[in-house]
Amino acid sequence: MEERQLNQYRLFRQGCYDRRRDWVDGYELLMREQVNDQWRVPMDFSLITPSLFAPIVAEAIHHLPGKTKAMINLLIDKCYRHWLRYSNKYLTTN
């Protein structure tokens, strides 16, 4: 199940176009979900668990350009804060 989910989520680098200056003004990093062979931003961020996120980030670091790595760090920070807020959902007890 986890292997199938890995193929459904991917990080994309997207240019941010500035209309006033008429050029690409930086980039943003988006996590997208594949639905019916189309990539879209996932609506439910809680679907991306820490164990699923790690291989997605590893793949992104390997394939995306070097400047994107700083954006990946920001995304990791955002995810970490999300997981701390909802940590009971991800903790398992024996």
Question: Tens digit of pLDDT for each residue in 39-75?
Answer: 776 555 566 677 777 777 777 777 666 666 666 777 7
pLDDT at 90 over 60: no
Q: What is the mean pLDDT of the chain?
A: 66
* pTM of the predicted model over 0.75: no
**Overall domain count for the chain:** 1
DSSP secondary structure of the chain: -HHHHHHHEEEEEEEEEETTTTEEEEEEEEEEEEETTEEE--S-GGGS-HHHHHHHHHHHHHHS-TTHHHHHHHHHHHHHHHHHHTHHHH----
* pLDDT, tens digit, 9 for 90 and up, residues 17-31: 677 777 666 666 666
Share of the chain above pLDDT 70, in %: 43
Range of the domain at 68: 2-90
